[in-house]
Amino acid sequence: MAGRLALCALVALGVACRGPTHGSPTERAPVIRVVARADTAPRSPNIYAAAGAGMLSPAARRARPLVYVPNSKDGTVSVIDPRTYRVVRTFATGALPQHVVPSYDLATLWVANNLGNSLTPIDPVTGREGRTVPVSDPYNLYFTPDGRFAVVIAERRQRLDFRDAHTLALVASLPVQCRGVDHMEFTADGRSAVATCEFSGQLLKLDLATRQIVGYLLLDPDGLGPRAMPQDIRAAPDGRVFYVADMMANGVFLVDPVAFRRVGFIATGKGTHGIYPSRDGRLLYVSNRGWSTVAGGRRGPGSVTVLDPATRAIVATWPVPGGGSPDMGNVTADGTELWLSGRYDGEVYVFDTATGRLTHRIAVGWEPHGLCVWPQPGRYSLGHTGNMR
């Protein structure tokens, strides 16, 4: 009881206390959540301001609401109806589909078939797939902020391929001097990009005007800090700091994208992997994939860490009851749910963003990865599973 009273005392600081409830289809666990308070102070710039709850573009409004889950080891995509939380169909793609990526103009969703050397288009209006397009080694796919180029992350070939954003015709290939290039984020001014290099523990910085690499950053240069294996990367709402999810360091590195140097580190949980902003840009949801095997064959302790980028403080931790492996996904258009693939458990997790509770586990295929919730708010997509601006 004393611990409960101490926890509830946080209400005075703007944090609400909630105990376990009953009657949900999933196991309940206490969580802490932030309560919005009136604030008359001027707010910092928010690069996600045009991707607020319900701010759908005309193109996105035409889309059929669906969730697309690439099952990497099956070579398929599972399609989920978010209203019923059921898989409505599964279709074949090329080999090793990694991510489902909204195009810059929001007119197409692309399935990046890594070993299949192809992209499979999906018409978001119908939810139906089209004929695959040959593209070499597409582990991931991004779009430059001006909408001119698609950037294919050719991880296996150690290069970035710049292609016409509409025709996908190859314009230029840029070799990279690091191993395992996989995720990318863009600076607020649209002039530069920073990409993670998973297998060499590095970041690279790219000048978008010249399409040249201007520097590399080793995240653990002296070997004294946490070992680095960077994964997803996302900008804070003010654009001044990039958060880098690191699966080996079990947390997020903070990087100044202009000075291109480390400025901090926050431990979050085992196997830190994905980062997604809330619809108002006030929070970042960080998925921790977990490592250790637990009873029943699930991996644990999978969780989601909720960060306040304004204070760089952890404000909540949402566990996966019984263990799990939350990986990639995104937030729904209204901001009320966070959907994540369960990479090593063949399932999808749905979290209630108001309470932090896991509300649904949905069985899908083998090794689900870059899940895409669609439609999402925003004027355009910079790629991945919906980096909306």
Spatial distance between the Cα atoms of 140 and 297, rounded to a whole number of angstroms: 29
Spatial distance between the Cα atoms of 248 and 336, rounded to a whole number of angstroms: 30
Q: Provide the whole-model pTM.
A: 0.87
Query: Going by C-beta distance under 8 Å and a sequence separation of 6 or more, which residues neighbour residue 127?
Result: 64, 66, 79
What percent of the chain clears pLDDT 90, i.e. is strictly above it?
A: 83
Tokens of 172: 């230029």
pLDDT in tens, 176-226: 999 999 999 999 999 999 999 999 999 999 999 999 999 999 998 766 556
- Predicted pLDDT at 221: 72
Neighbour tally for 6: CB within 10 Å: 10
Taking 50 as the pLDDT cut, the residues of the chain under it are 1-41, 292-296
Spatial distance between the Cα atoms of 340 and 324, rounded to a whole number of angstroms: 11
One-letter amino acid identity for 334?
A: D
- With the CA atoms of 153, 244, 290 and 354 taken in that order, what torsion angle do they form, in degrees rounded to the nearest 10? -110
Within 208-356, strands assigned E span 212-218, 230-235, 242-246, 251-256, 261-267, 272-277, 284-288, 292-293, 299-300, 303-308, 313-319, 326-331, 337-342, 347-352
Closest CA to 334 of 258, 278, 389: 278
For domain 2-37+51-374, give the CATH number: 2.130.10.10
pLDDT in tens, 27-72: 444 443 443 344 444 567 899 999 999 999 999 999 999 999 999 9
Domain range annotation of the chain: 2-37+51-374
